[in-house]
């Protein structure tokens, strides 16, 4: 355990993750992977009976499986420090993120929220102000930023190894919504295609936000303007299931983000390609332990995830748990987001000042940027791809 002076595990309260759900369980596995946290309480479902019934799945006492997140925050606040929850994980559908996160911050709990951060930009901006004026750590699980080779690439780019970055091509291609499975009550499809629960965008809010964030995290490039075309290819669906955005960066560079949920046979095909004046790189999450780095006139290089290799930089090395050749993937990357947030929580407990903008883990400001990305993509598409401003107030990284 590496919680230093805190000398105990951090206590996690889960919101969502009830029986039949998807990502909540991933959060609990990731948070507990390094033995730095344990799930001790939860409001696992919007249905109080299902919340109680889900407690055993997390080894949580039934007395701490609450009927609602409000009840969890109220009751847990009354427990002594060290017993009560330290942080809250928000793994519920998008339309509930804001109210749950806001209540958690107001109750003084640290927050790990899933993406997209809120339902709309107004909520995101309000939440950022709240977090900035509080002492809580707020992490956003754009989990692809946790892969060791993504951290490695980011450090290589920051140190200038690829020269000036001029082009970013980020894609997230899936096929699971090729047919209208929301009509057969498929739980995950049902809310994602419902504008009252998903938000202004479907596919673009669900997965293009990951792709955009990944390019932003790796390159640090600041966006200026966006043009986007979204499509709903499956008849009768209310939100987009395909789209492409073109982004102008403030250094003159160009970025594209393409996301699809209707491409036959495609699973979770996140890819990123980055071109700099001195070199280019490419990475794919379905083969995450390898990254291609190329320069004209030189042999193509394949960097493998190897914590002991001399080419691995500190941030890439620190993100590895296993020696090369033993594959690491989704859980470990997710756990790296938690680990970085835990470092900040522990530092806070020790009275240290912690970084709030340029953090290793995606934070509330990445959430605001993600919501601006969604809002402006939808607005641009409604205006036939018109160029719209896409500038976040905070110049960072």
Where does this chain touch ligand NAI (CB under 6 A) — which range of 4-12, 39-47, 224-232, 273-281?
39-47
How far is 192 from 205, CA to CA, in rounded Å? 9
**Which residue in the set 76, 114, 275, 328 belongs to the binding site for ligand NAI (CB under 6 A)?**
114
When asked if residue 96 is in the footprint of ligand NAI (CB under 6 A), the reply is: yes
Nearest to ligand NAI of 203, 262 (CB atom): 203
Nearest to ligand NAI of 174, 219 (CB atom): 174
When asked if residue 23 is in the footprint of ligand NAI (CB under 6 A), the reply is: yes
**Range 359-388, binding ligand NAI (CB under 6 A):** none
Sort residue 357 into left (φ over 0), alpha (ψ -120 to 50) or beta.
alpha
Q: Tell me if residue 252 falls in helix, strand or coil.
A: coil
Nearest to ligand NAI of 23, 274 (CB atom): 23
Where does this chain touch ligand NAI (CB under 6 A) — which range of 75-83, 85-93, 129-137, 224-232?
85-93
**Nearest-approach distance from CB 354 to ligand NAI, in angstroms:** 23
**Nearest-approach distance from CB 337 to ligand NAI, in angstroms:** 9
Nearest to ligand NAI of 24, 215 (CB atom): 24
**Nearest-approach distance from CB 282 to ligand NAI, in angstroms:** 21
**Which residue in the set 45, 213, 223, 263 belongs to the binding site for ligand NAI (CB under 6 A)?**
45
Nearest to ligand NAI of 50, 397 (CB atom): 50
Residue 277's Cβ-count burial label (10 Å; 0-12, 13-18, 19+) is exposed
**Which residue in the set 34, 38, 46, 396 belongs to the binding site for ligand NAI (CB under 6 A)?**
46
Residue 268's Cβ-count burial label (10 Å; 0-12, 13-18, 19+) is middle
**Range 163-192, binding ligand NAI (CB under 6 A):** 187-188, 191
**Nearest-approach distance from CB 277 to ligand NAI, in angstroms:** 33
When asked if residue 69 is in the footprint of ligand NAI (CB under 6 A), the reply is: yes
Q: What is the DSSP string of 43-90?
A: E--SSHHHHHHHGGGGT--GGGB-SSHHHHHHHHHTSPTTTS-SEEEE
The sign of the dihedral angle between the CA atoms of 128, 119, 340, 64 is positive
Q: Give the total of residues touching ligand NAI (CB under 6 A).
A: 25
According to DSSP, the residues that pair with 287 across neighbouring strands are none
8 Å CB contact between 341 and 110: yes
Nearest to ligand NAI of 10, 270 (CB atom): 270
Tokens describing residue 289: 């332990």
Quickly count: other Cβ atoms within 10 Å of residue 98's Cβ.
20
Q: Which residues have CB under 8 Å from 334's CB, separation 6+?
A: 26, 27, 29, 30, 141, 143, 146
Q: Which helix (H) or strand (E) holds 333?
A: helix 330-349
**Which residue in the set 9, 13, 21, 221 belongs to the binding site for ligand NAI (CB under 6 A)?**
21
Closest C-alpha to 209, from 13, 369, 35 = 369
When asked if residue 123 is in the footprint of ligand NAI (CB under 6 A), the reply is: no
**Nearest-approach distance from CB 299 to ligand NAI, in angstroms:** 35
Orientation of helix 69-77 relative to helix 97-106, angle to 10°: 10
Where does this chain touch ligand NAI (CB under 6 A) — which range of 19-27, 155-163, 242-250, 357-365?
19-27
**Nearest-approach distance from CB 7 to ligand NAI, in angstroms:** 30
Orientation of helix 97-106 relative to helix 121-132, angle to 10°: 10
When asked if residue 18 is in the footprint of ligand NAI (CB under 6 A), the reply is: yes
Nearest to ligand NAI of 182, 275 (CB atom): 182
When asked if residue 141 is in the footprint of ligand NAI (CB under 6 A), the reply is: yes
When asked if residue 94 is in the footprint of ligand NAI (CB under 6 A), the reply is: yes
Strand 138-140 relative to strand 110-113: parallel, antiparallel, unpaired? parallel
Sheet of strand 87-91: strand arrangement: 37-43, 10-16, 87-91, 110-113, 138-140
When asked if residue 215 is in the footprint of ligand NAI (CB under 6 A), the reply is: no
- Omega prior to 116 cis, within 30 of 0: yes
3-state SS, 262-279, equals: CCCCCCCEEEEEEEECCC
When asked if residue 22 is in the footprint of ligand NAI (CB under 6 A), the reply is: yes
Binding site for ligand NAI (CB under 6 A): 15-18, 21-24, 43, 45-46, 69, 91-94, 96, 114-115, 141, 143, 187-188, 191, 206
């Amino acid at each position: 355990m590496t919680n230093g002076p805190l000398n105990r595990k951090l206590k996690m309260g889960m919101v969502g993750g009830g029986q039949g759900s998807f990502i909540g369980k991933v959060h609990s596995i990731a948070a507990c992977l390094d033995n730095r946290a344990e799930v001790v309480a939860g409001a696992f479902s919007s249905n109080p009976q299902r919340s109680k019934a889900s407690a055993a799945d997390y080894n949580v006492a039934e007395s701490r499986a609450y009927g609602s997140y409000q009840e969890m925050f109220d009751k847990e606040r009354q427990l002594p420090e060290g017993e009560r929850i330290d942080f809250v994980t928000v793994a519920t559908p998008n339309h509930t993120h804001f109210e749950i996160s806001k209540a958690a911050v107001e109750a003084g709990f640290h927050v790990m929220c899933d993406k997209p951060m809120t339902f709309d930009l107004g909520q995101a901006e309000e939440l950022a102000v709240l977090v900035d004026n509080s002492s809580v750590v707020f992490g956003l699980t754009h989990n692809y930023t946790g892969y060791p080779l993504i951290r490695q690439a980011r450090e290589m780019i920051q140190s200038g190894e690829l020269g000036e970055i001029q082009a970013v091509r980020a894609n997230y291609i899936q096929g699971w919504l090729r047919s209208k499975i929301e009509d057969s009550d498929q739980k995950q499809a049902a809310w994602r295609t419902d504008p009252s629960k998903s938000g202004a965008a479907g596919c673009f809010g669900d997965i293009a936000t990951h792709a955009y964030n990944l390019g932003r995290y790796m390159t640090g490039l600041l966006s200026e303007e966006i043009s986007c075309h979204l499509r709903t290819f499956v008849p009768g669906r209310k939100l987009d299931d395909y789209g492409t955005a073109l982004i102008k960066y403030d250094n003159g560079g160009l970025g594209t983000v393409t996301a699809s949920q209707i491409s036959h046979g495609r699973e979770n095909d996140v890819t990123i390609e980055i071109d700099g004046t001195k070199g280019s790189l490419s990475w794919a999450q379905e083969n995450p332990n390898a990254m291609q780095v190329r320069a004209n006139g030189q042999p193509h290089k394949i960097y493998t995830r190897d914590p002991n290799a001399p080419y691995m930089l500190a941030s890439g090395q620190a993100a590895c748990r296993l020696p090369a050749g033993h594959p690491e993937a989704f859980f470990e990357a997710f756990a790296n987001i938690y680990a970085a947030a835990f470092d900040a929580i522990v530092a806070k407990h020790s009275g240290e000042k912690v970084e709030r903008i340029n953090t290793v883990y995606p934070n509330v400001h990445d959430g605001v940027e993600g919501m601006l990305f969604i809002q402006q993509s939808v607005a641009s598409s409604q205006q036939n791809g018109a160029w719209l401003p896409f500038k976040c107030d905070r110049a960072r990284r």
